[in-house]
Amino acid sequence: MNLSSSLSSLKLNYCGLQGKLPSSMGKFKHLRYLDLGGNNITGSIPYDFEQLTELVSLGLASNNYLSLEPISFHKIVQNLTKLRDLALSSVNMSLVSQDFLNSLTNLSSSLSSLSLGGCGLQGKFPGNIYLLPNLESLDLSYNEASLALFLRPI
Amino acid sequence: MGFSPLSLSQSLSFFLFLFHFHSTISSSHFCALDQSLSLLQFKESFSINSSASWNCQHPKTESWKEGTDCCLWDGVSCDLKTGHVTGLDLACSMLYGTLHSNSTLFSLHHLQKLDLSDNDFNSSHISSRFGQFSNLTLLNLNYSVFTGQVPSEITHLSKLVSLDISENEYLSLEPISFDNLVRNLTKLRELDLSWVHM
Protein backbone atom coordinates (compact mmCIF):
# COMPACT_ATOMS: atom_id res chain seq x y z
CA MET A 1 0.00 0.00 0.00
CA ASN A 2 1.54 3.25 -1.16
CA LEU A 3 -0.89 5.39 0.75
CA SER A 4 0.54 7.92 3.14
CA SER A 5 0.76 6.81 6.74
CA SER A 6 -0.97 10.07 7.70
CA LEU A 7 -4.19 8.79 6.08
CA SER A 8 -7.19 9.44 8.31
CA SER A 9 -10.05 8.07 6.22
CA LEU A 10 -10.18 5.29 3.62
CA LYS A 11 -13.54 4.25 2.22
CA LEU A 12 -13.62 1.67 -0.53
CA ASN A 13 -17.04 0.09 -0.12
CA TYR A 14 -18.39 -1.93 -3.04
CA CYS A 15 -15.39 -1.41 -5.31
CA GLY A 16 -15.04 -5.00 -6.48
CA LEU A 17 -11.80 -5.42 -4.50
CA GLN A 18 -10.35 -8.91 -4.51
CA GLY A 19 -7.50 -10.59 -2.70
CA LYS A 20 -6.23 -10.41 0.84
CA LEU A 21 -5.87 -7.48 3.19
CA PRO A 22 -2.25 -6.33 3.28
CA SER A 23 -0.45 -7.21 6.49
CA SER A 24 0.99 -3.69 6.62
CA MET A 25 -2.31 -2.03 7.55
CA GLY A 26 -0.93 -1.34 11.02
CA LYS A 27 1.20 1.51 9.66
CA PHE A 28 -1.87 3.70 9.25
CA LYS A 29 -1.68 4.88 12.83
CA HIS A 30 -3.87 7.92 12.23
CA LEU A 31 -6.67 6.07 10.47
CA ARG A 32 -10.06 6.97 11.94
CA TYR A 33 -12.38 5.56 9.28
CA LEU A 34 -11.78 2.31 7.42
CA ASP A 35 -14.65 1.01 5.35
CA LEU A 36 -14.04 -1.84 2.93
CA GLY A 37 -17.49 -3.45 2.99
CA GLY A 38 -19.15 -5.24 0.09
CA ASN A 39 -16.03 -6.42 -1.71
CA ASN A 40 -14.59 -9.88 -2.40
CA ILE A 41 -11.77 -9.67 0.13
CA THR A 42 -10.57 -13.13 1.13
CA GLY A 43 -8.27 -14.58 3.79
CA SER A 44 -8.27 -13.46 7.37
CA ILE A 45 -8.15 -10.05 9.01
CA PRO A 46 -4.45 -9.48 9.84
CA TYR A 47 -3.28 -9.35 13.44
CA ASP A 48 -1.88 -5.88 13.05
CA PHE A 49 -5.36 -4.34 12.91
CA GLU A 50 -4.88 -4.10 16.66
CA GLN A 51 -2.47 -1.22 15.96
CA LEU A 52 -5.22 0.91 14.42
CA THR A 53 -6.03 2.37 17.79
CA GLU A 54 -7.47 5.64 16.44
CA LEU A 55 -10.24 3.85 14.52
CA VAL A 56 -13.70 5.27 15.10
CA SER A 57 -15.34 3.22 12.36
CA LEU A 58 -14.36 -0.19 11.04
CA GLY A 59 -16.49 -1.70 8.29
CA LEU A 60 -15.61 -5.03 6.70
CA ALA A 61 -19.13 -6.39 6.32
CA SER A 62 -20.33 -8.33 3.29
CA ASN A 63 -17.00 -9.80 2.32
CA ASN A 64 -18.29 -13.35 2.21
CA TYR A 65 -14.93 -15.12 2.19
CA LEU A 66 -13.21 -13.03 4.82
CA SER A 67 -12.63 -14.53 8.23
CA LEU A 68 -11.71 -13.28 11.66
CA GLU A 69 -9.56 -15.58 13.77
CA PRO A 70 -10.17 -15.75 17.53
CA ILE A 71 -6.92 -13.96 18.43
CA SER A 72 -7.52 -11.07 16.01
CA PHE A 73 -11.07 -10.85 17.30
CA HIS A 74 -9.82 -10.58 20.83
CA LYS A 75 -7.19 -7.97 19.96
CA ILE A 76 -9.61 -5.81 18.02
CA VAL A 77 -12.09 -5.88 20.86
CA GLN A 78 -9.34 -5.16 23.37
CA ASN A 79 -7.31 -2.43 21.64
CA LEU A 80 -9.64 -0.40 19.45
CA THR A 81 -10.97 1.61 22.33
CA LYS A 82 -12.31 4.52 20.27
CA LEU A 83 -14.64 2.49 18.05
CA ARG A 84 -18.12 3.87 17.58
CA ASP A 85 -19.14 1.75 14.61
CA LEU A 86 -18.10 -1.87 14.07
CA ALA A 87 -19.62 -3.65 11.07
CA LEU A 88 -18.44 -7.21 10.51
CA SER A 89 -21.62 -8.86 9.27
CA SER A 90 -21.04 -11.97 7.16
CA VAL A 91 -17.34 -12.13 8.11
CA ASN A 92 -16.70 -15.75 9.07
CA MET A 93 -16.08 -16.00 12.83
CA SER A 94 -17.07 -19.62 13.30
CA LEU A 95 -13.78 -20.37 15.08
CA VAL A 96 -14.45 -17.77 17.76
CA SER A 97 -15.15 -19.75 20.92
CA GLN A 98 -17.21 -18.90 23.98
CA ASP A 99 -14.22 -17.41 25.83
CA PHE A 100 -13.59 -14.96 23.05
CA LEU A 101 -17.28 -14.26 22.65
CA ASN A 102 -17.34 -13.23 26.29
CA SER A 103 -14.74 -10.58 25.51
CA LEU A 104 -17.37 -8.64 23.54
CA THR A 105 -18.09 -7.08 26.89
CA ASN A 106 -14.71 -5.34 26.62
CA LEU A 107 -15.73 -3.45 23.51
CA SER A 108 -15.21 0.26 23.50
CA SER A 109 -17.69 2.01 25.75
CA SER A 110 -18.16 4.58 22.98
CA LEU A 111 -19.56 1.92 20.62
CA SER A 112 -22.87 3.03 19.16
CA SER A 113 -23.38 0.49 16.39
CA LEU A 114 -22.40 -3.17 16.32
CA SER A 115 -23.29 -5.53 13.49
CA LEU A 116 -22.22 -9.15 13.63
CA GLY A 117 -25.04 -10.67 11.56
CA GLY A 118 -24.35 -13.94 9.78
CA CYS A 119 -20.87 -14.38 11.27
CA GLY A 120 -21.30 -18.06 12.15
CA LEU A 121 -20.98 -17.31 15.86
CA GLN A 122 -21.80 -20.17 18.20
CA GLY A 123 -22.36 -20.43 21.93
CA LYS A 124 -23.95 -17.70 23.96
CA PHE A 125 -23.63 -13.95 23.59
CA PRO A 126 -22.68 -12.38 26.88
CA GLY A 127 -25.85 -10.93 28.39
CA ASN A 128 -24.13 -7.77 29.53
CA ILE A 129 -23.54 -6.70 25.91
CA TYR A 130 -26.65 -4.62 26.62
CA LEU A 131 -24.67 -2.66 29.15
CA LEU A 132 -22.55 -0.88 26.53
CA PRO A 133 -23.66 2.60 27.49
CA ASN A 134 -23.84 4.20 24.05
CA LEU A 135 -25.12 1.32 21.96
CA GLU A 136 -27.91 2.42 19.62
CA SER A 137 -27.89 -0.32 17.02
CA LEU A 138 -27.18 -4.03 17.54
CA ASP A 139 -27.40 -6.69 14.84
CA LEU A 140 -26.60 -10.26 15.90
CA SER A 141 -28.98 -11.93 13.46
CA TYR A 142 -28.32 -15.17 11.59
CA ASN A 143 -25.90 -16.72 14.08
CA GLU A 144 -26.20 -19.96 15.97
CA ALA A 145 -25.21 -18.31 19.20
CA SER A 146 -28.08 -17.63 21.55
CA LEU A 147 -28.79 -14.44 23.34
CA ALA A 148 -30.65 -14.17 26.59
CA LEU A 149 -33.26 -11.50 26.05
CA PHE A 150 -33.89 -9.49 29.12
CA LEU A 151 -35.04 -6.02 29.85
CA ARG A 152 -32.88 -3.89 32.00
CA PRO A 153 -34.75 -1.69 34.47
CA ILE A 154 -34.38 1.90 33.36
CA MET B 1 -19.91 77.15 22.95
CA GLY B 2 -19.79 76.75 19.20
CA PHE B 3 -17.21 75.01 17.04
CA SER B 4 -14.25 77.12 16.03
CA PRO B 5 -13.97 77.45 12.20
CA LEU B 6 -10.85 75.30 12.31
CA SER B 7 -12.37 72.35 14.09
CA LEU B 8 -15.48 72.56 11.92
CA SER B 9 -13.40 72.27 8.78
CA GLN B 10 -11.43 69.45 10.33
CA SER B 11 -14.63 67.60 11.21
CA LEU B 12 -15.97 68.18 7.71
CA SER B 13 -12.86 66.86 5.99
CA PHE B 14 -12.87 63.85 8.29
CA PHE B 15 -16.51 63.21 7.35
CA LEU B 16 -15.70 63.58 3.66
CA PHE B 17 -12.77 61.20 4.12
CA LEU B 18 -15.05 58.62 5.74
CA PHE B 19 -17.63 59.04 3.00
CA HIS B 20 -14.99 58.64 0.31
CA PHE B 21 -13.58 55.57 2.06
CA HIS B 22 -17.01 54.02 2.37
CA SER B 23 -17.93 54.59 -1.27
CA THR B 24 -14.58 53.17 -2.39
CA ILE B 25 -15.23 49.96 -0.45
CA SER B 26 -18.77 49.47 -1.67
CA SER B 27 -18.03 50.04 -5.33
CA SER B 28 -14.83 47.98 -5.45
CA HIS B 29 -15.00 44.34 -6.51
CA PHE B 30 -12.63 41.84 -5.09
CA CYS B 31 -13.71 39.35 -7.72
CA ALA B 32 -11.74 39.35 -10.98
CA LEU B 33 -14.10 40.03 -13.90
CA ASP B 34 -13.16 36.92 -15.88
CA GLN B 35 -13.83 34.74 -12.82
CA SER B 36 -17.23 36.34 -12.35
CA LEU B 37 -18.17 35.71 -16.00
CA SER B 38 -17.00 32.10 -15.81
CA LEU B 39 -19.15 31.51 -12.75
CA LEU B 40 -22.21 33.13 -14.34
CA GLN B 41 -21.84 31.02 -17.49
CA PHE B 42 -21.41 27.93 -15.34
CA LYS B 43 -24.59 28.84 -13.50
CA GLU B 44 -26.52 29.29 -16.76
CA SER B 45 -25.52 25.84 -18.01
CA PHE B 46 -27.63 24.12 -15.34
CA SER B 47 -31.21 24.24 -14.20
CA ILE B 48 -32.28 24.20 -10.57
CA ASN B 49 -34.24 21.04 -9.94
CA SER B 50 -35.64 20.00 -6.60
CA SER B 51 -34.97 16.33 -7.29
CA ALA B 52 -31.29 16.91 -8.11
CA SER B 53 -30.14 17.04 -4.49
CA TRP B 54 -31.17 14.38 -2.03
CA ASN B 55 -29.48 14.88 1.34
CA CYS B 56 -29.90 18.64 1.63
CA GLN B 57 -31.04 21.48 -0.61
CA HIS B 58 -29.38 24.89 -0.93
CA PRO B 59 -29.74 26.46 -4.40
CA LYS B 60 -26.62 28.57 -3.89
CA THR B 61 -26.26 29.78 -7.47
CA GLU B 62 -29.54 31.70 -7.13
CA SER B 63 -27.62 34.36 -5.19
CA TRP B 64 -25.19 34.82 -8.09
CA LYS B 65 -26.09 38.13 -9.76
CA GLU B 66 -24.25 39.98 -12.51
CA GLY B 67 -22.70 43.25 -11.35
CA THR B 68 -22.16 42.10 -7.78
CA ASP B 69 -18.94 40.90 -6.21
CA CYS B 70 -18.63 37.17 -6.87
CA CYS B 71 -16.50 36.79 -3.77
CA LEU B 72 -19.67 37.46 -1.77
CA TRP B 73 -21.78 34.86 -3.58
CA ASP B 74 -22.98 31.75 -1.77
CA GLY B 75 -20.50 28.92 -2.07
CA VAL B 76 -17.72 31.07 -3.56
CA SER B 77 -14.50 31.97 -1.81
CA CYS B 78 -11.66 34.08 -3.14
CA ASP B 79 -8.12 35.12 -2.59
CA LEU B 80 -8.92 38.73 -1.67
CA LYS B 81 -5.53 40.00 -2.88
CA THR B 82 -5.77 38.64 -6.41
CA GLY B 83 -9.55 38.31 -6.83
CA HIS B 84 -9.14 34.71 -7.97
CA VAL B 85 -11.80 32.20 -7.02
CA THR B 86 -10.09 29.61 -4.82
CA GLY B 87 -13.05 27.73 -3.41
CA LEU B 88 -16.36 26.56 -4.84
CA ASP B 89 -18.72 24.71 -2.51
CA LEU B 90 -21.84 23.78 -4.44
CA ALA B 91 -22.83 20.73 -2.41
CA CYS B 92 -26.60 20.16 -2.49
CA SER B 93 -27.13 23.07 -4.89
CA MET B 94 -29.90 21.31 -6.83
CA LEU B 95 -27.92 21.64 -10.08
CA TYR B 96 -29.25 19.55 -12.93
CA GLY B 97 -27.58 19.18 -16.32
CA THR B 98 -24.51 17.93 -18.11
CA LEU B 99 -21.07 19.12 -17.06
CA HIS B 100 -19.29 19.39 -20.39
CA SER B 101 -15.54 19.49 -21.05
CA ASN B 102 -15.90 23.05 -22.37
CA SER B 103 -17.59 24.25 -19.18
CA THR B 104 -16.33 27.60 -17.91
CA LEU B 105 -15.78 25.84 -14.58
CA PHE B 106 -12.43 24.81 -16.02
CA SER B 107 -11.42 28.48 -16.41
CA LEU B 108 -11.19 28.77 -12.64
CA HIS B 109 -7.54 27.73 -12.62
CA HIS B 110 -6.89 28.85 -9.07
CA LEU B 111 -9.38 26.55 -7.38
CA GLN B 112 -8.06 24.87 -4.26
CA LYS B 113 -11.33 23.39 -3.03
CA LEU B 114 -14.13 22.13 -5.26
CA ASP B 115 -17.23 20.45 -3.86
CA LEU B 116 -19.96 19.51 -6.35
CA SER B 117 -21.43 16.70 -4.24
CA ASP B 118 -25.12 15.81 -4.23
CA ASN B 119 -26.21 17.35 -7.52
CA ASP B 120 -27.43 15.63 -10.69
CA PHE B 121 -24.97 15.96 -13.55
CA ASN B 122 -27.15 13.69 -15.66
CA SER B 123 -24.64 10.90 -16.35
CA SER B 124 -21.82 13.27 -17.34
CA HIS B 125 -18.36 11.84 -17.74
CA ILE B 126 -15.74 13.25 -15.39
CA SER B 127 -13.83 15.49 -17.79
CA SER B 128 -10.09 15.02 -18.16
CA ARG B 129 -9.92 18.79 -17.57
CA PHE B 130 -10.38 18.20 -13.85
CA GLY B 131 -6.70 17.26 -14.04
CA GLN B 132 -5.87 20.91 -14.81
CA PHE B 133 -6.84 22.12 -11.35
CA SER B 134 -3.26 21.81 -10.24
CA ASN B 135 -3.82 23.60 -6.92
CA LEU B 136 -6.70 21.44 -5.74
CA THR B 137 -6.44 20.12 -2.21
CA LEU B 138 -10.08 18.99 -2.01
CA LEU B 139 -12.26 17.44 -4.71
CA ASN B 140 -15.69 16.11 -3.81
CA LEU B 141 -17.91 14.65 -6.56
CA ASN B 142 -19.86 12.35 -4.21
CA TYR B 143 -23.38 11.34 -5.22
CA SER B 144 -23.64 13.54 -8.29
CA VAL B 145 -24.62 11.15 -11.10
CA PHE B 146 -21.29 10.95 -12.90
CA THR B 147 -20.64 7.91 -15.06
CA GLY B 148 -17.88 6.29 -17.14
CA GLN B 149 -14.16 6.07 -16.57
CA VAL B 150 -12.34 8.24 -14.09
CA PRO B 151 -9.84 10.13 -16.30
CA SER B 152 -6.19 9.29 -15.73
CA GLU B 153 -5.55 13.08 -15.48
CA ILE B 154 -6.94 12.84 -11.94
CA THR B 155 -3.51 11.52 -10.95
CA HIS B 156 -2.07 14.97 -11.83
CA LEU B 157 -3.75 16.46 -8.77
CA SER B 158 -0.72 15.90 -6.59
CA LYS B 159 -1.79 18.38 -3.90
CA LEU B 160 -5.04 16.57 -3.10
CA VAL B 161 -5.56 16.00 0.59
CA SER B 162 -9.17 14.84 0.24
CA LEU B 163 -10.71 13.00 -2.72
CA ASP B 164 -14.28 11.72 -2.76
CA ILE B 165 -15.84 10.41 -5.97
CA SER B 166 -18.04 7.82 -4.25
CA GLU B 167 -21.64 6.80 -4.87
CA ASN B 168 -21.98 7.85 -8.47
CA GLU B 169 -23.99 6.17 -11.18
CA TYR B 170 -21.35 3.86 -12.57
CA LEU B 171 -17.74 4.91 -12.34
CA SER B 172 -14.78 2.77 -13.18
CA LEU B 173 -11.24 3.55 -12.10
CA GLU B 174 -9.77 1.53 -14.97
CA PRO B 175 -7.41 1.97 -16.70
CA ILE B 176 -5.73 3.75 -13.75
CA SER B 177 -4.87 1.26 -11.07
CA PHE B 178 -5.50 2.02 -7.44
CA ASP B 179 -1.74 1.74 -6.84
CA ASN B 180 -1.05 4.25 -9.58
CA LEU B 181 -3.56 6.68 -8.09
CA VAL B 182 -2.17 6.57 -4.57
CA ARG B 183 1.44 6.64 -5.80
CA ASN B 184 0.78 10.05 -7.35
CA LEU B 185 -1.53 11.47 -4.71
CA THR B 186 0.93 11.31 -1.85
CA LYS B 187 -0.76 13.95 0.31
CA LEU B 188 -4.11 12.18 0.58
CA ARG B 189 -5.54 11.96 4.04
CA GLU B 190 -9.13 11.18 3.07
CA LEU B 191 -10.00 8.89 0.19
CA ASP B 192 -13.51 7.71 -0.64
CA LEU B 193 -13.93 5.63 -3.80
CA SER B 194 -16.94 3.64 -2.61
CA TRP B 195 -18.96 2.20 -5.50
CA VAL B 196 -16.18 3.06 -7.98
CA HIS B 197 -15.35 -0.14 -9.80
CA MET B 198 -11.69 -1.06 -9.81
User: Which domains are assigned to chain A?
Assistant: 9-139 (3.80.10.10)
Q: Closest-CA residue in chain B for A33?
A: B190
Fold for domain B31-197? 3.80.10
Report the C-alpha gap between B24 and B30 in whole angstroms.
12
Query: Taking the C-alpha atoms of A78, A83, A88 and A92 in order, what is their torsion angle to the nearest 10 degrees?
Result: -10
Tell if the CB–CB gap between A12 and B193 is shorter than 8 Å: yes
Residue B191 near chain A (CB below 8 Å) = yes
How crowded is the C-beta side of B25, counted as CA atoms within 13 Å? 6
The string of pLDDT tens digits covering residues A40-59 is 999 999 999 999 999 999 99
Categorize the per-residue pLDDT at B30 as very low, low, confident or very high, splitting at 50, 70 and 90. confident
pTM of the full structure: 0.88
pLDDT digits (tens, 9 = 90+) for B129-188: 999 999 999 999 999 999 999 999 999 999 999 999 999 999 999 888 899 999 999 999
Task: Quote the ipTM score.
Answer: 0.90
Kindly report which listed range (A76-85, B12-21, B48-57, B144-153) carries the lowest average pLDDT score.
Answer: B12-21
Query: Which candidate in A7, A12, A28 is best for mutational testing of the B interface (most B CBs within 10 A)?
Result: A12
- Cα B73 to Cα B61: distance, rounded to the nearest angstrom: 8
- Is B191–A15 a contact, with Cβ atoms under 8 angstroms apart? no
Residue A105, judged by CB atoms within 10 A of its CB (0-12, 13-18, 19+), counts as middle
pLDDT of residue A100: 84
Test A15 with B179 for CB contact under 8 angstroms: no
Q: Does B170 touch chain A (CB under 8 A)?
A: no
Q: Is the pLDDT of residue B2 over 60?
A: no
Cis, peptide link before residue B175, omega less than 30° from 0: yes
Cβ–Cβ of B198/A17 closer than 8 Å?
yes
CB burial of A14-43 (b: ≥16 within 10 Å; e: otherwise) equals bbebeeebeeebbbbeebbbbbbbbbebee
